Structure 1
């Protein structure tokens, strides 16, 4: 099992507010923004203000200030609903893109929820490659890639009965290349607890092919990044 040290990982990547920053490429990635999740919750009966647009914008602005990336990738499931995109959701996306494009190049990678995205925005892609890194959403298998960055599964780790969105890192686990799994960027998504997850438990066909026990959770809390032992070790001592 190839375990990475915290120092090694942080020398390559930054982790902040649910975003991954690839230092050598000045590349920032977030996944599963799920714009419109607040509307869906409202339709289910949660009738209180969730301030989704304001919260998302605050997080994007903080990330831009922290990393000043050259390229910012929204890695799939940009929309929440499969079949409808309201005017409010379109306006939120337009505001987010205007904020990002004022500072850097923006790439939109389609996810499984983004059926309506190409018709509304155009210029979307299924994958993005830059300097030996490949960004895909993760809902489909991919064989030819660099260091792989995916979303789709919304990982979270449970520590002392508290749940924290987390990244998952695997050294050399995907066709000999490193793998990074992104948490859901939308703070209204609680995430899926992975403490005891086996490969078969993941949604992504990419993750089903790897040894889940070798994946290391990376948690960012109050600006401090902690790289935890592989999931196999967490299972033994939980």
Structure 2
């Protein structure tokens, strides 16, 4: 299958600050916010201000201003810690929710880290279906679905010795349905380099069953969105 043209993909989707906007259904998705990651890094010895809450609120505010979505989905791994939610993490989560709910409907999809999320938030779901699209975190297989939007693997791509968070797009790669893999929304997450990645290198059981060579990285660099050739070609010439 030939590579999808950049113009065609950008007519269908918006890509901004690690958020995906599905134009035809006015839906925005971010994945892997990992609230509390800054606190964990501090406990591990990074003793300098990381300003996680301020950074996340700025990002979400900018995404809302750019796309003005009707629905905003937080697609799993909303919290970083598995076993507890600190006071600081709760406060950041509350601030993020207040920012989003002031503008649109918010859907919380549970991820592999979100064992505490139902107790903190309530009203969470394992998947969200809307207008031919299915949003799941990606940490488990999924049955019948539309175009899949998943997170979980934090893809990033290395270009000229610099690493950039990236989306991965695959036309018809999951049972004939399209796939979008989300980068981590938390800028403190470095991402996992996918330049040479094959199916077995991914965590998601969904990605392990697709021809990952057909996935096209989508990168935002200095405000410009660039759709790169499929990973098979990048492997060949890297």
TM-score (norm 2): 0.99
Give the corresponding residue for 2:67: 67
Cα distance in structure 2, aligned partners of 1:80 and 1:96: 15
- The Cα shift of 1:124 comes to 0.2
Cα distance in structure 1, aligned partners of 2:221 and 2:165: 9
Cα distance in structure 2, aligned partners of 1:208 and 1:190: 21
Q: Does the C-alpha gap of structure 1 residues 2 and 147 become closer, same or farther in structure 2, counting only changes over 3 Å?
A: farther
- Note if 1:122 corresponds to 2:86: no
- The Cα shift of 1:9 comes to 0.1
Matches within 5 A, 1:49-128: 49-128=49-128
- The Cα shift of 1:222 comes to 1.6
Give the corresponding residue for 2:183: 183
3-state SS of paired residue (2:206): helix
Q: Which runs of 5+ in 2 are unaligned?
A: none
Cα distance in structure 1, aligned partners of 2:90 and 2:74: 15
Structure 1 runs of 4+ with >6 Å offset: none
Give the corresponding residue for 2:29: 29
- The Cα shift of 1:221 comes to 1.2
Give the corresponding residue for 2:139: 139
- The Cα shift of 1:143 comes to 2.5
Cα distance in structure 2, aligned partners of 1:146 and 1:167: 18
Check the 8 A contact 1:20/1:29 in 2, yes or no. yes
- The Cα shift of 1:153 comes to 0.1
- The Cα shift of 1:2 comes to 4.0
Give the corresponding residue for 2:4: 4
Give the corresponding residue for 2:217: 217
- Note if 1:157 corresponds to 2:157: yes
Check the 8 A contact 1:6/1:227 in 2, yes or no. yes
Give CA deviations for 1:19-71 in whole Å, capped at 9, x if unaligned.
Answer: 00000000000000000000000110111000000000000000000000000
After superposition, the CA RMSD in angstroms is 0.5
- Number of residue pairs aligned between Structure 1 and Structure 2: 238
3-state SS of paired residue (1:152): coil
Cα distance in structure 2, aligned partners of 1:84 and 1:16: 31
